[in-house]
Structure 1
Amino acid sequence: MNSQEIRLRSTVAGFTVEGQLHTLSVWFILALRLMMGIAFLQSGVDKVLSGSFSAAGYLQNAPQANGSPLAGLFTTMGSSQLFLDFVNVAVPWGEALIGLALLVGAFTRLAAFWGAFMMLLFYFGNWDVAHGYINGDFAYMLVFLSVAAFGAGRVLGLDPRIEAYKIGDEPLIERYPWLRYLLG
């Protein structure tokens, strides 16, 4: 094996795939994390600073107008004042915090999971299959999942420092192995 390549192998549901990553891949993994971090931080901060973000019109109108298969679910969400109050805070602050976490590489997998979840909702809310089922929202969802899968927070991020933080004489990640699902 070339010293410039990393071998990967994974089996899911009985199917095995193998491949090689070039060591330059780490720069693209970092670029994806930073790109999504900047995009989400900017979007969230813009909404927070505007002080007037409301998801009501979007939830009650956009999915129905574009023929989303989940239009009824979006209408139900948009007709609940309690849910709207939650979403009107969760979307702007969620975007800002996801963006910040990705930029600094802290709790990267957790941030990427919620980013992918938001993009899945945006995918169905912004439903437009005129040019196929793959659109920007779907592509961004896959970028978030890639950031999580590659453990992008370990590339010039804070996640390795958080993992190595010692409680007594034991690194945090060894004491609480489940944190591997949130960090990285």
Structure 2
Amino acid sequence: MSTAHRWLAVLRIFLGLLFLESGTHKLSWGDLQAGLPIPTVSQGWREALPKRLLEFAEKNPIGWYRAFLYHAAIPNSRLFAALVAWGELLLGLSLVLGLFARTGAFAGFFLAGNYFLANSWMGPCQRNLDLLLLVVLLALGCVQAGQCWGLDGKFFPSRGK
């Protein structure tokens, strides 16, 4: 593998760790002494998300996305809290392990696209961060970043050749 592939692997793993931490933070892992805990969406995240979605919707200039937030996301905020928490956790695992990294990167692109549509109007800092995230995830998906230092390279060596 070339130096460029190695640097893409470093980028993939680092971004995966960020998503892994974010998803883990949104989950409650239960009592470790009671055996293997089954992670569930934390109560704090379930309670915070409807307020955050309302904030994203109130002045959102993208009419169709504002309608989506009001009519789909806010009324089903418990479901969306679970989707975001589990999505971030699984995306993080996919990128860190380099397993199904292409699929994970494109799923992350969809997730980051929603973040961008929800809050890009709130200021240039958030908009620029979300745009950077979109570009990096798109690039990781297009170059099959899981081939170097990832399980994709071990289990699916014919991909990317």
Same-fold status (TM-score > 0.5): yes
Amino acid aligned to 1:78:
A
Instruction: Say which structure, 1 or 2, has more relative contact order (CA 8 Å, 6+ apart).
Output: 2
Q: What secondary structure does 2:27 align onto?
A: helix
The answer on 1:38 being equivalent to 2:5 is: no
The answer on 1:163 being equivalent to 2:142 is: no
**Structure 2 match to 1:60:** 54
Once residues 163 and 63 of structure 1 are traced to their aligned partners in structure 2, the CA distance between those partners, rounded to angstroms, is 42
**Structure 1 match to 2:79:** 86
Give the share of equivalent positions with the same residue, in percent. 24
Aligned residues, how many?
143
Amino acid aligned to 1:108:
A
Contact 1:63 1:124 in 2 (8 A): no
Gaps of 5+ in 2: 29-40
Contact 1:59 1:77 in 2 (8 A): no
**Structure 1 match to 2:70:** 75
The answer on 1:51 being equivalent to 2:55 is: no
Gaps of 5+ in 1: 1-22, 165-172, 174-179
TM-score, reference length from structure 1: 0.69
Residue 37 of structure 1 deviates from its aligned partner by 0.2
Indicate the larger mover: 96-105 or 130-139.
130-139
Q: What secondary structure does 2:99 align onto?
A: coil
**Structure 2 match to 1:3:** none
**Structure 2 match to 1:138:** 131
Once residues 118 and 126 of structure 1 are traced to their aligned partners in structure 2, the CA distance between those partners, rounded to angstroms, is 13
Rg (Cα) greater in structure: 1
Higher strand share: 1
**Structure 2 match to 1:29:** 8
Residue 138 of structure 1 deviates from its aligned partner by 1.4
Amino acid aligned to 2:139:
S
Q: C-alpha deviations, 1:25-54, integer Å up to 9, x for none?
A: 122211220121011000000010371212
The 1:27–1:132 alpha-carbon spacing in structure 2 relative to 1, beyond 3 Å, is same
Q: C-alpha deviations, 1:137-164, integer Å up to 9, x for none?
A: 1110111111111111001100122225
TM-score, reference length from structure 2: 0.77
Contact 1:60 1:78 in 2 (8 A): no
